[in-house]
Amino acid sequence: MIPHAGLSLAVLVFVSVCFAQGSTSSAEKTGSEQSVRASDLYLKVRLDSPLKASKLKPGDQVSGKLFQDVYSGDREVFPVSSGVSLTVDRLERRRRAQNDHWPWVIKAFTPRHERYPVFHLASVTSPDGSHIPLEVSLVSVSEEVEVEPKTKKSPNASTAELPPNRPRRGLGSLITLIASTQVRTNGGVTAAAPESTMISPGTEAKVILLGDLSSSKSHANDSFQARLVEPVFRDSKMLLPEGTLFEGKVLKSQAPRTLSRSGSILLAFTNMTLAGGTAPIAASIAGAQINQRSHTVIDPEGRMRGDRPGKAWMLINLGVTAGIAKEVDDGTQLVIEAIVSTATDASTAGTARIVSACASTIFMLTRHGRDVVLPKYTQMKIVFDRPAVSPNANGLPQEP
């Protein structure tokens, strides 16, 4: 007879390895499924009602309003609250995106694929009532929240002087789309500010990531790119056009560790690119729009980290621990009785309990905390930490 303990532990290890491989391939596929072009528009739509993507059928109508203005270079294409309607063409099977919602025990038994709607056409209603068709591709459908750094409390400041500390603000059901359209007149990242501009510290900008990042897979000094989705203005003067390309690097990254310690990642933006060339900058994270179920938080220094495991996380691990203890207890007794002919359940009970206690303790001590997962197209708010000058200020040629 095969001992229950050995079989259980072998299955546990096998499932863990398979899950890890599945997560890696999922992340790789997600990052390569779509590539945003300079001529593409980035649309975020707040749905009229919550939506479960897997329940949609071909022909179903999905409607909502633009969550934010849509820009092309230096001009507004669609204003916020413009109506958007989409029709489901079909449902396709695609890999489930990596997340930090649950421990690996739950992820291991979660299907690796999910059914997602495919949209080819969308119709945007302009303020004058006309309907403008767009070719679109779906990025995500989810309940989202905006996460901001927690405010540092000054020991000398009174409660009335402190700004409201809302590190998480609900945004509702949002659908993110990439649209291919001919309405753009600028070349996206090739657009340039009309003249030399000085960007002062504290200036904020909205960007989207152009690749996946996570505390478990990204490492210090890894580079990444982001794209500006709204022009940056100061006193009605445009400082940076939509489409400006930002480059950055991972300053620090800590993967989730044992004893349920969560991972963390610190990002910095180091360069920006316009038609005039590339200029150095120093900017950091000031907020992010992420899935509502994510447990990522931002500290006052701009470091993103996984929050502490909650009750559900701990209860799941405790339940698995109890199951392992039971299987190891029974299996140990079977092994001893098979080797020692005179052994009985009563005589082996003490040894089995010790072995099962050791196995369950090792399992609990080796559990990792939450990951920080930032999928491609995650929208972020960044803030300039030091003065910066647009590339045109260096005397480089500017496109007419």
When pLDDT is cut at 50, 70 and 90, the band that residue 44 belongs to is very high
Q: For residues 174 and 49, give the distance between their C-alpha atoms in angstroms, rounded to a whole number.
A: 10
pLDDT for 348: 75
Q: Which residues contact 396 (CB under 8 A, 6 or more apart)?
A: 276, 277
pLDDT for 3: 43
Nearest 5°: CA angle at 32, between 30 and 34?
90
When pLDDT is cut at 50, 70 and 90, the band that residue 20 belongs to is very low
Contact of 285 with 146, CB cutoff 8 Å = no
When pLDDT is cut at 50, 70 and 90, the band that residue 13 belongs to is very low
pLDDT for 25: 39
> Is residue 94 scored above 60 in pLDDT?
yes
Mean per-residue pLDDT, 276-304? 92
Number of C-alpha atoms within 13 angstroms, CB side, residue 211?
13
pLDDT for 50: 85
pLDDT for 168: 84
Lowest mean pLDDT among 137-151, 169-183, 309-323, 360-374: 309-323
Number of C-alpha atoms within 13 angstroms, CB side, residue 385?
14
Number of C-alpha atoms within 13 angstroms, CB side, residue 40?
20
Higher pLDDT, 216 or 166: 216
pLDDT of 154-165, one tens digit each?
455 444 444 445
> CA separation (Å) from 18 to 14, 15, 97, 105, 264?
6, 5, 16, 12, 24
Higher pLDDT, 263 or 235: 263
Q: The tokens of 242 are what?
A: 């939509």
Q: The tokens of 148 are what?
A: 């901001």
pLDDT for 197: 79
pLDDT of 174-233, one tens digit each?
999 999 865 443 334 444 445 667 899 999 999 999 999 999 999 999 999 999 999 999
> Is residue 238 scored above 90 in pLDDT?
no
Q: Which residues contact 200 (CB under 8 A, 6 or more apart)?
A: 234, 384, 387
> CA separation (Å) from 247 to 156, 210, 269, 278?
38, 10, 6, 10
> Is residue 48 scored above 50 in pLDDT?
yes
pLDDT for 156: 53
| Per-chain mean pLDDT for the chain | 79
pLDDT for 288: 96
- Name the residue with tokens 């990025």: 139
pLDDT for 184: 42
pLDDT for 38: 60
Whose CA is closest to 236, among 269, 270, 194? 194
When pLDDT is cut at 50, 70 and 90, the band that residue 392 belongs to is low
When pLDDT is cut at 50, 70 and 90, the band that residue 384 belongs to is very high
Higher pLDDT, 55 or 207: 207
When pLDDT is cut at 50, 70 and 90, the band that residue 39 belongs to is low
Give the percent of the chain with pLDDT over 70: 78
Q: How far is CA 28 from the centre of its chain?
A: 14
The neighbour count for residue 362, using CB atoms within 10 Å, is 11
Q: For residues 385 and 269, give the distance between their C-alpha atoms in angstroms, rounded to a whole number.
A: 10
Q: The tokens of 101 are what?
A: 């919602």
pTM reported for the whole predicted model: 0.77
> Is residue 266 scored above 90 in pLDDT?
yes
Q: Is 12 helix (H, G, I), strand (E, B) or coil?
A: helix
> Is residue 377 scored above 70 in pLDDT?
yes
